[in-house]
Structure 1
Amino acid sequence: MPDLTSTRFPVNVDAALREAGWQPGRWDIKLAEEWADTLRAHTSPAGHRHAVFPAVVEAWAEFGGLLVTPPGHGRQIAPAPLRFDPLAGLHLARTLGDLGRALDTELAPLGEEGENSEQRAILAMDTEGRVYSIDHTGDWFLGRDIDAALATLVTGTQPTRLTTAP
């Protein structure tokens, strides 16, 4: 018999996800494939293209379309709503490509964080499933996988700023 008292996520993260419409086993591969096709077909005016890979397609299939509203004030920073829609990063192929090269990986858009365009950050995932946030203040590491990143974002834990070597 399954253990119904334990969850994959911390309790407050699980509650925020369920409030947004997520449930264990949620899987919309059709939507994920549509997004993958749209991103693959997009080329920036300068010729930059998006990377699409299994880890990000799986994240889109599980969380795609959700708007997650954090339930509290946050541990260290104020958490912001998250929207899982990679098309929020459609026109950032160069930005994601540049950061991916700096990290020696590829990045794909995952969605966005923030309530308005002035405070918005783009969420991205690399080929290993690690999650990042890119905003006007810098580039941030959110977690080694989507679960850790969601815990960071929903609980308002301070993410780690990425730095470049001298």
Structure 2
Amino acid sequence: MPHPTSQDARFSDLVDATLRVAGWQPGRWDIKQAEFWADALRTHVSPAGHRHSVFPAAVEAWAEFGGLHLTPTGPGRHIAPAQPHLDPLHGLHAARTLGDLGRALDTELAPLGAESGTEALLAIDTEGRIYALDHSGDWYLGPDIDEALATLITGLQPPRLAPPGGTGA
């Protein structure tokens, strides 16, 4: 069997190695755990009555990458690499926050995990786009989980989301 070229590979060598050290491998699919998270999020209601959205893009991301603690090595390209823990229950108590941002973006958001150290909340929308929310703002990590993981692991500077009616940072 020929070794895939870098053009054929799903991830760069650095991203692939970081994912594999954390326990990911091609074909990883833990739908039982993803369904557990989906049920926990669906049944959680905040004291003010806010609920989480659960949709296929989120469940698929949880099934493939859920539970991984990513610990990139080396310096980042623009900023320090993130150390995400991909567990949607990090966002259990953020239903209102995710709902508010989802409305601003005209979509729904579900929690994906959190960055260790910064505690930025990672979220996914119905189209599979990935975002980070932290004390300094909201950030666009990529159009899909693959690009978002590359952004986080390689320390690329993500663009900041523009405030409603604003132009961004």
Shorter-chain-normalised TM-score: which range?
over 0.9
Give, in angstroms, the shift of residue 3 of structure 1.
4.0
Are positions 1:134 and 2:136 aligned together? no
Give, in angstroms, the shift of residue 24 of structure 1.
0.1
Are positions 1:152 and 2:151 aligned together? yes
Structure 1 runs not aligned, ≥5 long? none
Q: Distance in 1 between matches of 2:143 and 2:83?
A: 20
The 5 Å alignment of 1:37-116 reads 37-115=39-117
What is the identity, as a one-letter code, of the residue corresponding to 1:120?
E
Give, in angstroms, the shift of residue 145 of structure 1.
0.2
1:78-119 CA-to-partner distances (Å, cap 9, x unmatched) read 01211010000000000000000000000000001122xxx2
SS at match of 1:153: helix
Q: Distance in 2 between matches of 1:14 and 1:30?
A: 24
What is the identity, as a one-letter code, of the residue corresponding to 1:128?
E
SS at match of 1:67: coil
1:21-44 CA-to-partner distances (Å, cap 9, x unmatched) read 000000000000000000000000
Relative to the length of structure 2, the TM-score reads: 0.93
SS at match of 1:68: coil
Over the residues paired in the alignment, what is the CA RMSD in angstroms?
1.1
Question: Could you say which residue in structure 2 is the equivalent of 1:9?
Answer: 11
- Seen in structure 2, the aligned counterparts of structure 1 residues 140 and 4 have a Cα distance that, compared at 3 Å, is same
Structure 2 runs not aligned, ≥5 long? none
Are positions 1:29 and 2:31 aligned together? yes
Relative to the length of structure 1, the TM-score reads: 0.95
Q: Distance in 2 between matches of 1:89 and 1:2?
A: 42
- Seen in structure 2, the aligned counterparts of structure 1 residues 31 and 2 have a Cα distance that, compared at 3 Å, is farther
1:111-146 CA-to-partner distances (Å, cap 9, x unmatched) read 01122xxx2100000000000000000000000000
Give, in angstroms, the shift of residue 77 of structure 1.
0.3
SS at match of 1:160: coil
What is the identity, as a one-letter code, of the residue corresponding to 1:40?
R
Identity of aligned residues (%): 71
Q: Distance in 1 between matches of 2:27 and 2:105?
A: 31
